[in-house]
């Protein structure tokens, strides 16, 4: 891992940009365990509803549980989405529990993805479908996986709806992460799709409903992403017609980006929806499975500053936590800004180091130089005992970290209504 890119002495966020209920919860966390996540599940659900409203009637919105699997978040989203996208048996069970709790039954589909599905995972999914009435579908990543899914379905006495995940030879759109046409473990290379279709259709216990084409991630260009979705539909229809597939499902993945840095454009949801509405009805269920766009703005990571140190011309704000809680800035090498919340609680007679009008690097409590959350951010003041709050942390935060390293306490999670005064 490389440290996140330098802010080049750009200022930190104004504390007023953090909603008052979040500020209060962050200070409470800091007074307790010292660090954790503040989520607004209702805000995540509202964002899901907003996305669903912007899309044509033929679209279905699933939430990618890998982005945020906190039970209160899933419970609120169960009322707002058409289903969940899971990548493990644990995620599938959590999705099913959320759907049943909020809907009083198994309504809503669970689509399961991931490049390394084991026989045990697939057997568990088949049992969920056969024994619990769960509407579980599987995105197949290889011919071997198809054989394993078939054996699981037959063993459970059920039929699994499946799609074939495709790694297209060329993806005619740019994004922050383009996963098509490059070597990787995800999906079936486009040239091998005909053989995969033949194999799946020959196996008992499988119902081939279409294709999964998730090849772009973190795209903030709405016009380009709409073009990508329409290209996916055209590709899926042409491939299905050529190989006699009864096309009912096209999963176009997620990939809707959020702005992490000042100056980044927000995703133009209205323009995105309008571009898709102008296209003919594809006559199939088109699945969108965003995680980041729905979840990121509904979460904040808060960490107490445990020390402020100067070293050979650099200034460091050391926090309780770090990449063991919030690995995203380092893993993605992004500039994830923060606000400083002043906290006047401090023991009498104890020195309180402070940096004023300085550029600081935020580092965590782990014994590795990679434990950095932000570099060279200008602050008016930061003291030991103050609290740093990172917005846009509601997706790939808690779930994406490395909590076992050094064995420090895990990040606490709490919820608020961020829109209260």
Give per-residue pLDDT as tens, 211-224: 999 777 888 899 99
What is the arithmetic mean of pLDDT over 103-115? 82
What is the arithmetic mean of pLDDT over 360-385? 97
What is the arithmetic mean of pLDDT over 276-296? 96
Confidence of residue 348 (pLDDT cuts 50, 70, 90): very high
Q: Cα-Cα-Cα-Cα dihedral of 160, 164, 165, 166, to 10°? A: 180
Judge whether residue 178 has pLDDT over 70.
no
Confidence of residue 181 (pLDDT cuts 50, 70, 90): low
**Per mean pLDDT, which range of 106-115, 201-210, 324-333, 399-408 is the poorest?**
106-115
**Per mean pLDDT, which range of 105-109, 113-117, 199-203 is the poorest?**
105-109
Judge whether residue 175 has pLDDT over 60.
no
Confidence of residue 263 (pLDDT cuts 50, 70, 90): low
Judge whether residue 150 has pLDDT over 70.
yes
**Per mean pLDDT, which range of 99-108, 115-124, 148-157, 176-185 is the poorest?**
176-185
Architecture of domain 41-296: Alpha-Beta Barrel (3.20)
Please give the pLDDT value at position 176: 54
Judge whether residue 135 has pLDDT over 60.
yes
Confidence of residue 91 (pLDDT cuts 50, 70, 90): very high
Which residues belong to CATH 3.20.20.10 in the chain?
A: 41-296
Please give the pLDDT value at position 289: 96
Fold of 15-38+299-415: Lyase, Ornithine Decarboxylase; Chain A, domain 1 (2.40.37)
What is the arithmetic mean of pLDDT over 275-303? 97
What is the arithmetic mean of pLDDT over 314-340? 94
Please give the pLDDT value at position 174: 59
What is the arithmetic mean of pLDDT over 271-289? 96
Average pLDDT, the chain: 94
pLDDT tens, position by position, 232-256: 999 999 999 999 999 999 999 998 9
Judge whether residue 138 has pLDDT over 60.
yes
Judge whether residue 179 has pLDDT over 90.
no
Stronger pLDDT, 270 or 169, i.e. the higher one: 270
pLDDT tens, position by position, 62-85: 999 999 999 999 999 999 999 999
% of the chain beyond a pLDDT of 90: 86
Stronger pLDDT, 175 or 125, i.e. the higher one: 125
pLDDT tens, position by position, 80-90: 999 999 999 99
Which residues belong to CATH 2.40.37.10 in the chain?
A: 15-38+299-415
**Per mean pLDDT, which range of 189-203, 259-273, 323-337 is the poorest?**
259-273
Judge whether residue 265 has pLDDT over 80.
no
Please give the pLDDT value at position 180: 64
């Amino acid at each position: 891992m490389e440290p996140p890119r330098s802010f080049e002495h750009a200022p930190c966020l104004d504390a007023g940009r953090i909603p008052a209920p979040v500020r209060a919860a962050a200070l409470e966390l800091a007074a307790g365990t010292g660090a954790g996540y503040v989520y607004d599940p209702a805000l995540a659900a509202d964002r899901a509803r907003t996305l669903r409203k912007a899309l044509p009637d033929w679209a279905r919105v699933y939430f990618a549980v890998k982005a945020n699997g906190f039970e209160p978040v899933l419970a609120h989203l169960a009322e707002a989405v058409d289903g969940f996208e899971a990548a493990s048996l644990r995620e599938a069970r959590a999705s099913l529990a959320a759907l049943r709790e909020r809907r009083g039954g198994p309504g809503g589909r669970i689509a399961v993805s991931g490049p390394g599905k084991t026989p045990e995972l697939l057997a568990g999914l088949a049992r969920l479908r056969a024994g619990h009435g769960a509407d579980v579908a599987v995105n197949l990543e290889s011919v071997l996986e198809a054989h394993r899914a078939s054996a699981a379905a037959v063993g459970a006495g059920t039929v699994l709806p499946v799609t074939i995940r495709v790694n297209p030879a060329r993806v005619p759109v740019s994004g922050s992460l383009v996963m098509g046409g490059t070597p990787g473990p995800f999906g079936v290379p486009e040239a091998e799709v005909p053989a995969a279709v033949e194999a799946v259709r020959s196996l008992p216990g499988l119902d081939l409903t279409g294709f999964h084409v998730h090849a772009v991630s973190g795209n903030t260009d709405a016009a380009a992403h709409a073009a990508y979705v329409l290209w996916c539909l055209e590709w899926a229809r042409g491939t299905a017609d050529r190989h006699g597939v009864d096309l009912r499902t096209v999963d176009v993945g997620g990939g809707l980006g959020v702005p992490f840095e000042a100056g980044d454009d927000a995703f133009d949801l209205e323009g995105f929806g309008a571009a898709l509405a102008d296209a003919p009805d594809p006559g199939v269920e088109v699945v969108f499975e965003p995680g980041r766009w729905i979840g990121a703005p509904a979460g904040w990571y808060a960490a107490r500053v445990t020390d402020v140190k100067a070293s050979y011309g650099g200034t460091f704000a050391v926090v309780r936590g770090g990449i063991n809680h919030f690995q995203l800035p380092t893993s993605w090498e992004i500039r994830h800004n923060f606000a400083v919340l002043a906290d006047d609680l401090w023991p009498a007679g104890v020195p309180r180091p402070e940096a004023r009008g300085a550029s600081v690097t935020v580092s965590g409590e782990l014994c590795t130089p990679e434990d950095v959350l932000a570099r060279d951010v200008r602050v008016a003041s930061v003291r030991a005992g103050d609290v740093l709050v990172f917005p846009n942390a509601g997706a790939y935060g808690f779930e994406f970290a490395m909590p076992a390293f050094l064995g420090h306490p895990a990040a606490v999670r709490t919820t608020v209504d961020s829109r209260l005064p």
